[in-house]
Amino acid sequence: MPVNGFGAGKHVIPKAVDNYHENNMMTATLYGLEGTASSVFLGGMLHADYGDVNSDGHTDIVLSGIRQIFQSDGHGEQILAKEFYVKEIYMYDPPSDTFLRAEDLGENMLIFERAIPGETGGQGL
């Protein structure tokens, strides 16, 4: 039986490739930054592993990697502002013949944050 798609109540294809610097205010706001920002995956994509995560006899998909958030400096340059470890697990669901995203997995853990001028802090690993 072929797999029809991905979803969580609806068919959603997971984003495993992203190397386009969209540079917009919505991305900046989402990540708590001022001005404009872009979100990309380190190396342009997430790494995919296939295995039976929940021991149900069906192959599941684990996507993992680093999401980088670049903030515009106002002069056309993109400066790395934050990095997050990303891990997304999609488990095969036989009744719906789809892969459903597992939730609450401690995803998007912050691993780097550049100190923004005028603010205190900034951390890195």
How far apart are the C-alpha atoms of 64 and 57, rounded to whole Å? 22
Q: With H, G, I as helix, E, B as strand and everything else as coil, classify residue 97.
A: coil
Express each pLDDT in 57-89 by its tens digit.
999 888 888 989 999 888 888 899 999 888 888
The dihedral over CA atoms of 33, 34, 37, 40, expressed in degrees to the nearest 10, equals 0
Instruction: List, for residues 9-24, the tens digit of each pLDDT value.
Output: 444 456 777 777 888 8
pLDDT at 112: 61
Provide the residue range defining the domain that includes 83: 15-115
Residue 3 included in any domain: no
**Residue 73 belongs to a domain:** yes
| 88 domain-assigned | yes
Question: Quick check: is 124 in a domain?
Answer: no
Residue 4 lies inside a defined structural domain of this protein: no
Q: What is the mean pLDDT of the chain?
A: 76
Domain assignment of residue 123, yes or no? no
Q: Tell me how far apart the alpha carbons of residues 46 and 44 are, in angstroms, rounded to a whole number.
A: 7
- The CA distances from residue 44 to 47, 79, 81, 94, in Å, are 10, 17, 17, 31
* Residue 120 included in any domain: no
- Overall domain count for the chain: 1
Residue 21 placed within a domain: yes
